[in-house]
Amino acid sequence: MLVVIAGGLIFGFGLAVSNMARPEVVIDFLQFDDFGLVFVMGGAAVVTGTVFALAEAFGDRAPLTGRDYGRRLKSFDKNVVVGGVVFGAGWGISGICPGAAYASLGVGNYPILIAIGGMFVGAYLQGLWRARRAESAATGTSAD
Amino acid sequence: MSGLTPLLVEGLFPNGIAHYALGGLLIGLGTAVIYLGTGIIAGASTFLESTLSYVSDLPRFNKAKYVASRDWRVVFTLSIVAGAALYTVLFGDGWWVSDVQPWRFAVGGVLVGVGTRIGKGCTSGHGVCGVGSRSRTSLVNVATFMLVAIGVAQLLSALGVSP
């Protein structure tokens, strides 16, 4: 748990340093007014890419959980694209994504609670919709 | 010609690049610390569903991996809030509040909640961890959300929505 706390603190600290916790900065990037965000996502991916590769090559198992350091690749299906479109629309409208939203609260931006609340509503709605769909598929009453 | 490069840099990066790059390295470092210790890829958006398992009995939210990870995901999220607060108190120039219109947070937030969960990840899971792992699934997801977000943001700007 201490590792999670340390990692979360550094993660949130970094989001504040980079100003990505400010929706205005993300919106400026998306409107091509300031391309700095490329360095935020690029810098982060370079570090994780290096560490993941080194751990996989030289590490054995994570000391705290015993999990091995293999690559964890998510499977591809059309949901990856559909989800990307919906998430992209939301990110473009609000300038905020989940991690940055939590950090935004930390820099004092209390109106972001509206966005975090919205994210919970959205996550709940898709869960509900999936449950309904699974139910209708199971009983064979699906219209399509 | 020698005067062109600084002009270009200033045009593309009116606020410089140092704090962006430093922040990015720290975001990556935070993810790396958790991965090295636990072998877990810590994305930020799974917290939304795993936390819903405390209050909803929908099977979707009560998958074993969500119930098993929900406690530390709450701790992870609170630590992100605390890390950002720590920076603001120690090095920031005071608490900061956004001028972005509340409806954008409300509508955008709901879409982000739906989209990250259907698409299996967000800016941290796909954007930072997935791209770092050179996962094709993540690269497709990131390219998709980036293009759509740019289109939507430019459209809103063209319609005169600001901020």
pLDDT tens digits, B3-45: 677 777 888 999 999 999 999 999 999 999 999 999 998 889 9
The pLDDT value recorded for residue A53 is: 93
Are residues A120 and B113, on separate chains, in Cβ contact within 8 Å?
A: yes
Three-class SS state of A68 = strand
**Does residue B142 sit within a domain?**
yes
Backbone angles phi, psi at A61, to 5 degrees: -130, 150
| Higher pLDDT pick, B132 / A72 | B132
pLDDT for position B21? 97
Closest chain A residue to B157, measured at CA:
A31
The ipTM, to two decimals, is 0.94
Q: Using the predicted structure, report yes or no on whether residue A143 has a pLDDT greater than 50.
A: no
Range of the domain at B147: 98-163
Residue B147 lies in a domain: yes
- Residues of B (4-63) whose Cβ lies below 8 Å from A: 12-17, 19-42, 44-45, 47-49, 51-52, 56, 58-61
With respect to residue B119, please indicate whether it lies within any of the assigned structural domains: yes
Using the predicted structure, report yes or no on whether residue A142 has a pLDDT greater than 50. Answer: no
Is residue B52 a part of any domain in this protein?
A: no
A4 to B79: CB separation less than 8 angstroms, yes or no: yes
Among candidates A4, A52, A59 on the partner chain, residue whose Cβ is nearest the Cβ of B72 = A4
B74 in a structural domain: no
In chain B, the number of structural domains is: 1
Report if residue B158 sits inside a domain: yes
Domain membership of residue B24 (yes or no) is no
Helix segments in B15-135, DSSP class H = 18-38, 46-52, 64-90, 102-118, 131-132
B157, pLDDT greater than 60: yes
Q: Kindly state whether residue B61 falls inside one of the protein's structural domains.
A: no
What digits encode the pLDDT tens for the residues B108-151? 999 999 999 999 998 999 999 999 999 999 999 999 999 999 99
A74 CB-near residues (< 8 Å, 6+ apart): A80, B120, B121, B130, B135, B137, B138
Between A137 and A105, name the one with better pLDDT: A105
